[in-house]
Amino acid sequence: MTATRDDAPVTNTGALVKTTINLHPHRTPPVRLSLSLRRYLASQFTYEALYQLAWMKQHECPGMIARSRLSDASVEELAELLTSGGKPTIGFWRRHSEVAA
């Protein structure tokens, strides 16, 4: 049996545990629901609740916010870029957000 001292100073020399929060969890495949099940689920909510849920979903995605602020010409340029296999860079978004502002 090992004796312990109650008056020993508190130290933090033990193992440090680093906790990280994954802000972008892995993508899960979409759940496929039948039309009758979708109607049933929708009927369980009020119109106001469904509207609020849709608003929150739309505004949690920065890409959706950025796309909603594009001008018609910028949307055309984005569509051309995407159909040609390109990916919009931060520079694209900055240029087109300045035009819209």
State yes or no: pLDDT of 72 exceeds 80: yes
**At 40, is the secondary structure helix, strand, or coil?**
helix
43 burial (CB, 10 Å; 0-12 / 13-18 / 19+) is exposed
What is the predicted pLDDT for the residue at 47? 87
What is the predicted pLDDT for the residue at 20? 56
What is the predicted pLDDT for the residue at 13? 59
State yes or no: pLDDT of 15 exceeds 60: no
pLDDT tens readout for residues 35-51: 999 899 889 989 898 88
- Higher local confidence (pLDDT), 67 or 37: 37
Instruction: Write a three-state SS string for 41-94.
Output: HHHCCCHHHHHHHHHHHHHCCHHHHHHHCCCHHHHHHHHHHHHCCCCCCHHHHH
Structural domain boundaries in the chain: 35-61, 69-101
